[in-house]
Amino acid sequence: MKRFLLVLVFIAGASTCGAAIIADHTCTDMGEINESHVNAACGLFRLYYGRTSHGTQIITGMEVMEARYGAPWQFNESGSGGELSIHEEYGDLGHNGDTGWADTTRDALNAPSSNRNVVMWSWCGGVTDNTSAGIDIYLNTMNQLETDYPEVLFIYMTGHLDGSGESGNLHQRNEQIRNYCKANNRVLFDYADIESYDPDGTYFLDQGADDGCYYNGGNWAEEWCVEHPLSDMCLDCECEHSRPLNCNLKARAFWWLMAELAEKSGVPTPTPSPVPMGVSLDMPSHLFRSGDTCYCNVTVTNSGTSALENHPLFVVLVVYDYLIWAPSFTEYDNYLAMYPLFPPGETNIEVIPGFIWPPVEGSGDGLYFIAAITNPEITAIVGEADIWDFGWIDY
């Protein structure tokens, strides 16, 4: 807890310079998210997230990223395995002047077993029919929670689009939330802003955009994915009330926010532990589809000071009930003839050269590569073995 208090002090100190932290449509480029900061966030933050159906869009997109990329884009309830800890609570921010969500938050944070240090609640339709006074109640209630729980970080949120455009009440109330967060250096997840732009930055709020990505001329998410059919941001998912692209963008913005908070916390990026003796597998994804680049590489790490001689490397492709042994991909083989010794350090081996995943019908999973080096007698594994699971989809 003391460590997290230091985090909050650091963020508050940075915020005195006008540094509100806002996750919006400019924060959805996965390539701009620092993975070392994501790893730090996974070890630092334990979220309590209140949401109903609209709020699941973040979680749905995160599930897509986890299936597609694996670590560090992983989360679970407890935070086990170095993943981000997220507890989901059913409920939302209600409507005009409702503060029931705050009572639920207090009950959760006051529980003897609670270890949550970040709280985020999402809106359902409660901004559309809200008033300026009602939003003030929301903002004041959040502020009171921040005062009462200084060891907890609270994330504000705007309401999802409803098609009423720039002149609608929803936009005015969202602006009220944004202005408060900017003026008071708060942390904001800007749901509505993410729904107002496609990934190329084309603006749709002034064209009546809504939460389903429809606007006066069509559906911007569907149109963008037709033009970019191989984009990972178009990976299919059951995105409540919307289109997959919307969920996938929100997931990226959320991970950006976690990484940004970790960076602002001043928590040093952990120094990587020495790589142990053994092997590691590398493929570009855990889930492939037509047009994706695929390959398989193995890195053998000899952490000793002398060469490993006559230690066979085994790389086995497991396809349901079949074992296929590299490098010849026959019934039984290993790399001893090609690599009779492994010098100290790392030896990188190409198991499968890069190729383009072909068109497929249906989907599949449960395929594995398993890799290990053994002693010369092939009676024991030397160091750490590795396994990589993968599958494919037809979209």
Q: Which residues face 157 on adjacent strands?
A: 189
Helices vs. strands in the chain: H and E counts, helices first: 9, 19
Q: What average pLDDT does this structure show over 322-337? A: 93
HEC string of 244-283? HHHHHHHHHHHHHHHHHHHHHHCCCCCCCCCCCCEEEEEC
Single-letter code of the amino acid located at 267: V
Res 299 pLDDT > 70: yes
Evaluate if pTM is beyond 0.85: no
Q: What percent of the chain has pLDDT over 70?
A: 93
Res 6 pLDDT > 70: no
- Please check whether residue 275 is in contact with residue 288, taking contact to mean a CB–CB distance below 8 angstroms: no
As a whole number of Å, the end-to-end CA separation of the chain is: 45
Res 304 pLDDT > 90: no
> What's the CA gap between 225 and 251, in Å, rounded?
17
Listed ranges 195-204, 267-276, 300-309; the one with the highest mean pLDDT: 195-204
Q: Hey, what are 47's tokens?
A: 């979220």
| 175 membership: H or E segment, kind and range | helix 169-183
The angle that helices 169-183 and 132-148 make with each other, rounded to 10 degrees, is 30
Task: Please state, in angstroms and as integers, the Cα–Cα distance from residue 177 to each residue in 136, 182, 198, 310, following that order.
Answer: 9, 9, 22, 66
Tens digit of pLDDT for each residue in 332-387?
999 999 999 999 999 999 999 999 989 877 788 889 999 999 999 999 999 999 99
User: What is the pLDDT at residue 271?
Assistant: 53
- Please check whether residue 265 is in contact with residue 11, taking contact to mean a CB–CB distance below 8 angstroms: yes
SS3 172: helix
Res 11 pLDDT > 70: no
Res 7 pLDDT > 50: no
User: What is the pLDDT at residue 297?
Assistant: 96
Single out the residue of 228, 166, 176 nearest to residue 199, CA to CA: 228
Task: Spell out a b/e string for 67-105, using b for 16 or more CB atoms within 10 Å of the CB, else e.
Answer: bbbbebbbbeeebeeebbbbbebebbbbbeebeebbebb
Single-letter code of the amino acid located at 61: G
- Please check whether residue 294 is in contact with residue 344, taking contact to mean a CB–CB distance below 8 angstroms: no
Res 251 pLDDT > 50: yes
Res 24 pLDDT > 80: yes
> What's the CA gap between 326 and 338, in Å, rounded?
11
User: What is the pLDDT at residue 267?
Assistant: 56
Q: Hey, what are 316's tokens?
A: 């086995």
| 191 membership: H or E segment, kind and range | helix 191-194
Tens digit of pLDDT for each residue in 93-151?
999 999 999 999 999 999 998 999 999 999 999 999 999 999 999 999 999 999 999 99
User: What is the pLDDT at residue 275?
Assistant: 67
User: What is the pLDDT at residue 3?
Assistant: 37
The angle that helices 244-265 and 35-44 make with each other, rounded to 10 degrees, is 80
What are the structural domains, with CATH classification, of the chain? Answer: 2-265 (3.40.50), 278-392 (2.60.40.10)
For the purposes of burial, counting CB atoms within 10 Å of the CB of 51, is it exposed (0-12), middle (13-18) or buried (19 or more)?
A: buried
Angle formed at CA 64 by CA 87 and CA 155, multiple of 5 degrees: 40
Q: Hey, what are 84's tokens?
A: 């981000």
Q: Hey, what are 367's tokens?
A: 């395929």
For the purposes of burial, counting CB atoms within 10 Å of the CB of 273, is it exposed (0-12), middle (13-18) or buried (19 or more)?
A: exposed
User: What is the pLDDT at residue 14?
Assistant: 37
- For the chain, strand residue ranges (E) read 21-23, 46-51, 75-76, 84-90, 118-121, 153-157, 187-189, 214-215, 218-219, 278-282, 287-288, 293-302, 308-309, 313-319, 322-325, 341-342, 345-356, 364-374, 381-392
User: What is the pLDDT at residue 360?
Assistant: 79
- The mean of the pLDDT values for the chain is 91
Tens digit of pLDDT for each residue in 162-201?
999 999 999 999 999 999 999 999 999 999 999 999 999 9
Single out the residue of 237, 259, 262, 261 nearest to residue 249, CA to CA: 237
